[in-house]
Structure 1
């Protein structure tokens, strides 16, 4: 973003987005093309990716000149949704009393 005009910057053409584990190791890196300062994308998460807290960090090459405190950095939780299934057992008894369903 241009600090004076707040318009999207034309300086950077690539956004680097990293998925970082709790040991500060980059597990995924995607490079997204910027068009007028805008892009979109996603991470394909594999089954081998362990559960835990991960960080999504995003920056442009130009932003690297000013330090990591200017990067986007967000912590997220990644878990196995299949591991938290809820199973219930339901029993139903149908009776009649004086010809009325109970």
Structure 2
């Protein structure tokens, strides 16, 4: 996975000299999938994840979470949604592990 980050950095540096970007990687548990997003960097602005974040400096932590939790412990996403009584409370308590790296071109 770090190769993805490195190749992305190389591509952006070639085509967007003088710009800054943020490379994000996180797990979308409802799909389940690993999500990648690359956005322009602005001081003190982040993607609006809508939950509390556990920011990590190592891609392996996100990959580990995907391997361990993406299958929802055998519980279907539909069942989890059905059993959810208060979505706002759930979102407030949910902590998403996110890897991010600023890429300066």
Q: TM-score, normalised by structure 1?
A: 0.28
Greater C-alpha Rg: 1
The two structures have a TM-score, normalised by structure 2, of: 0.28
